[in-house]
Amino acid sequence: MRRDSPSLKPFLTHFLAWIGFILYEQSILLVLGTNRFSFVETGLTFLLNAGIFYANCLLLLPWLYARRRYVAYALGVLLLLVFFALMRYVLNRFVFPFVLGGTVPAISSYTTLWAQALYRGVYFILLSFGYWFARDALRLEKQKSRQEHELRVAEKNLMEANLAFLKNQINPHFLFNSLNFLYAQVYPHSEETAKGILLLSDIMRYALKEEDNGKVMLEKEVQHLHNYIAINQLRFSNKLQIRFEIVGSVQFMMILPLVLITFVENCFKHGELSDPENPLTIRIKTANNQLLFHTRNKKRNGPKEKSTGIGIINTQRRLDMVYKERYSLEVNDEQDYYTCNLTIEL
């Protein structure tokens, strides 16, 4: 199978850039009448110039300067300049007279020769310095653009998933209007039942609400957990043993909605929540823009609600899309207890 060779493109680009630079510099010197042109002399001279240019930007800068080894980098540049000057001396003193014969003018001053070598060496080192920084800036910009593109794709996928979910639901306005009607009718007869309807309305409203940026305030997500626990307490006459702890502030932080509730629902489905000695533990801790979420429940003996595990799987996929490499999920499924630890860099 034929394969393209895109790796030749950078070499061709650099080659053409050097040809253009040589033509530019030699044309100016020829116009001023201060230089004669020789293919051999010009070719070998610029081969040496290119050598110090690439030695600095491909070796010294990435290996020493980028790793903050500034003293070693300074020594490396000094040695490179010395080597460059010696090679310039060898070319002008031995190689060019031997190859070109009498067409090469004699060296009038060795001081001038060494000064020119130092000047040209520093010139091409500074040129390579600028090239390396410009290339690094472009690389960082491309990396940033790629990350922003991936984030936009993830947000688009999340929004499409939310829209698809909403399209399959009953009309939210009809649902909330009906619940408000039931609340008004039931309240005079049973305040507790009316409270349950109000909690259900809040739960459904939060679950169906679509956020513009795909995230919600952490404070609202925590309130959703409180509502879910409260309505279940009404179902079981406030006999559920639940310890809900919050450490730190949950204000002014954003989180992907309906993530934490998945793990809490799992505890209610499969946990033994009526044992005072083994209550369901839910702990939320925030520190340094980091969320630590912990649940631990005793497993229920006897019949359990059937579960496909899709909720947990979908939640992990959503976490992968939005918090890729910024979250960790640890689940311990022991004989008698089920523990979950979720950490997210918000």
pLDDT for the residue numbered 172:
59
Write down the pTM of the prediction: 0.49
Per-residue pLDDT at 343 exceeds 90: yes
Instruction: Count the neighbouring beta carbons within 10 Å of the beta carbon of residue 101.
Output: 8
Torsion region of 258: left, alpha or beta (phi above 0 gives left; psi -120 to 50 gives alpha): left
Per-residue pLDDT band at 340 (split at 50, 70, 90) = very high
pLDDT-wise least confident of 49-63, 161-175, 283-297: 161-175
At 217-244, the pLDDT tens digits run 999 999 989 988 988 888 888 899 999 9
Specify the DSSP element, H or E, that contains 53.
Answer: helix 39-55
pLDDT for the residue numbered 102:
58
At 298-338, the pLDDT tens digits run 988 765 555 545 578 888 888 888 888 899 999 998 888 99
Per-residue pLDDT band at 4 (split at 50, 70, 90) = very low
Residue ranges and CATH numbers for the domains of the chain are 12-153 (no CATH), 214-345 (3.30.565.10)
Per-residue pLDDT at 1 exceeds 50: no
Torsion region of 248: left, alpha or beta (phi above 0 gives left; psi -120 to 50 gives alpha): left
Specify the DSSP element, H or E, that contains 57.
Answer: none
Phi, psi of 213 (to 5 degrees): -100, 10
Give the pLDDT mean for 258-287.
91
At 23-46, the pLDDT tens digits run 888 777 776 665 566 778 888 888
Higher pLDDT, 132 or 113: 132
Per-residue pLDDT at 15 exceeds 80: yes
pLDDT for the residue numbered 103:
56
Given the DSSP bridges, would you call strands 290-298 and 254-255 parallel, antiparallel or unpaired? unpaired
pLDDT for the residue numbered 9:
82
Within 8 A by CB and 6+ apart from 122, the residues are 81
Contact 256, 322 (CB under 8 A): yes
27 DSSP 8-state letter? H
- The distance from CA 226 to its chain's CA centroid, rounded to whole angstroms, is 33
